[in-house]
A and B are shown apart, each in its own frame.
Chain A
Amino acid sequence: MGHEASKAIRWGLFTTTVLAVLIVVGSRNLAHFDAALVGYTFATLFAVFGITYRYVMWLQRPPTALYWRRGWQVFLDRRYLLGNLRVLVWRLLAVFASNNFIWRRGRKRWAAHWLIMWGCVLAALITFPLVFGWVHFDMPAGDFEHYVVYVLGFPTMTFPVEGVLAFLVFHGLVWAALLVIPGVMIAMHRRMRDHGAGAVQQFGEDFLPLILLFAISVTGLMLTASYTWMRGYAFDFLAILHAIAVILTLLWLPFGKFFHILQRPAQIGVAFYRDIGGRAGLAACARCGQEYATRMQIDDLIEVERRLGYRYELGDGQADHYQRVCPQCRRAMLAIAQGMLWSSARGPVVEPMFDIATMMSPQQER
């Protein structure tokens, strides 16, 4: 086993142990832990191990490692920290809360993502604290009209059993399902009708997550329907179906598309890297002299490429590395290099040079 994998396993075991301890402590030595939900708990612990393992492996890739370090460096830089915090709030709202960049990619895509995302966030905020025994509801002694919300064993707010708040809170997962289901259907429609998506999509990567989310939402709604309108008809069977769907999703979290949930925050780090890199100075192309990127990024990229084993070094007086040539010049050089081969194969050709000015005023002496 390589050094990277053993490091990832150690981190995985550490985070899993921390969560297990927090479950025991938060549920007051499992006093408020619901034994019926133990399957969810073990699936979550596995997911935490898997996610941590993959995250640590990911962070050890040379480009990711460098960006991770640089991202934190530029964000915590004392000169910019206050401004960064202000911008962070705005970016969290724009990027995460409203998914503005997906809106620009396409309205349908945005609607699907936004509905699924908020449905999942709501469901996670409700489910995990309940499963871990961190939150539970109880009635005050002798009072059957109110519920008390206990957080980590401490009583917090009280609300009437028959009130609107109780209805909203106890149907929280219904609202989540009602967000997720239309989102999944829009996404599924796009995947089935869009030729572009059809060419590159894969079952495990693109369909399975949608199917799992749909299964969780529908079986969850069926549970509510069963105990609300059908006197608990097939409730046990539905509860097992729902548990299977949820547990499969938790087990799939580290492997498939869901992992992007943990990768996306890097987008924020990149934005700070770009901002602050720009202030530190721009790199000019060694061939055309035009500025084309931040100097920080070019230097970092050269370092990353060396670590990856690439040898783009040039024995050129003007540039030490091919990375110092802008993309536009690279495209031009490719054509010129090919043209040079043809020129040398053909031998010297004397071509008259067109002089537009001469052609326009032939009498004028030049």
Chain B
Amino acid sequence: MPVAANTEFFIDPSRCIGCQACVQACEECDTHRGHAMIHLEYIERAQSTQTTPVVCMHCDSPTCAEVCPADAIKRTADGVVQSARKPRCIACSNCVLACPFGVPKMKSEFELMMKCDMCYDRTSVGKKPMCATVCPSQALHFGTREEVERLRPRAQPVNRFRFGQQWITTKVNMMAPAAPPAYIDVTAAMHAGPTGRRYALPVVGAGASG
């Protein structure tokens, strides 16, 4: 059964509080039981409180699948980019290194790439992905577009991302301000620091510099 067409995934990293609930819940997903596929990143831990959850954005033209020499990554008709097919994956890490969002994980012990598949066992039967069911701050929200418009009147969901000269369109949306531009220029942040609340933690700072 495909993922219902009227439900979508909306991510808002600026709302993440770094509670790790999504990481714990992710491990309970049946398609990768015991292994969390979501990334929870601490950005410049010594200077900022900023954290971000990173799930697969499910690109319309997935670079990970295109660079796979074993043709192991498939995108289902409903736009979900599946984890590597176990009989085919040869553990070369091309997908891990090529994904513009840094999503796939190489499980060297299994000689297998694993990635977020939007909890396909759940979303294909009308349920929400595990991470979205537990996120207390709605950094991860799975629902209808109408719900999001009602909940976030000053934001707009965008699904176009720029990486240098490359544009990528995704199934998963990221919440951006309602004003233009209606895309996120990821490589514009190449030299930027965290945008979350800053603090000085001299002990960690000294450790890091020493």
Contacts and interface: CB of A to CB of B under 8 A. Distances in A.
Say whether A associates with B: yes
A321 interface: yes
- Report which residue of A316, A319, A322, A341 has the largest number of chain B beta carbons within 10 angstroms of its beta carbon: A341
A322 B163 contact: yes
Given A105-B110, A336-B193, A331 B54 contact: yes
Contact of A323 (B52, B97, B189): B97
Contacts of A195: 30, 121
A280 to B, nearest CB: 16
Given A105-B86, A267-B91, A308-B66, A301 B97 contact: yes
A331 B165 contact: no
A331 B177 contact: no
B148 interface: no
B147 interface: no
Contacts of B41: 328, 331-332, 335
A67 interface: yes
Contact of A333 (B90, B91, B187, B200): B187
Interface string B173-210: 01111010000111111111111111111110000000
A338 B166 CA distance: 17
Interface of A is mostly: helix
Interface residues of A, number: 73
A297 interface: yes
Contact of A311 (B166, B177, B201): B166
Interface in A267-316: 267, 270, 273-274, 287, 292-293, 297-298, 301, 304-305, 308, 310-316
Given A196-B32, A335-B43, A293 B93 contact: yes
A318 interface: yes
Contacts of A260: 87-88
A286 to B, nearest CB: 8
Interface stretch (A19-27, A58-66, A161-169): A58-66
Given A337-B184, A341-B184, A199 B120 contact: yes
A338 B94 contact: no
A326 B69 CA distance: 21
Nearest to B111: A101
Contact of B200 (A196, A308, A340, A354): A354
Nearest to B105: A327
Nearest to B82: A200
A67 B95 CA distance: 14
A345 B121 CA distance: 38
Contacts of B91: 267, 270
A35 B189 CA distance: 71
Contact of A263 (B88, B93, B97, B101): B88
Given A195-B30, A315-B164, A327 B67 contact: no
A336 B67 contact: no
B133 interface: no
Nearest to A68: B69
Nearest to B32: A196
- Report which residue of A63, A105, A292 has the largest number of chain B beta carbons within 10 angstroms of its beta carbon: A63
Nearest to A311: B165
A342 interface: yes
B70 A351 contact: no
A319 B163 CA distance: 12
B26 interface: no
B143 interface: no
Contacts of A305: 63, 67, 98
Contacts of A334: 13, 52, 54, 101-102, 161, 174, 184, 186, 189
Contacts of A314: 164, 187, 190
B67 A330 contact: no
Contacts of B82: 200
A335 B13 contact: yes
Nearest to A298: B97
B150 interface: no
B14 A342 contact: yes
Given A198-B121, A266-B70, A331-B52, A355 B199 contact: yes
Interface of A: 58, 61, 63-64, 66-68, 101, 104-105, 194-196, 198-200, 257, 260, 263-264, 266-267, 270, 273-274, 287, 292-293, 297-298, 301, 304-305, 308, 310-316, 318-319, 321-323, 325-345, 351, 353-357
20 contacts: A67-B69, A101-B111, A198-B121, A287-B190, A293-B93, A301-B97, A312-B163, A312-B165, A318-B191, A322-B187, A334-B174, A335-B43, A336-B50, A337-B188, A338-B14, A340-B192, A341-B176, A342-B14, A353-B199, A357-B200
A-B residue pairs, 10 tightest by C-beta = A339-B195, A327-B102, A335-B52, A345-B177, A199-B121, A330-B102, A354-B199, A196-B30, A336-B189, A335-B13
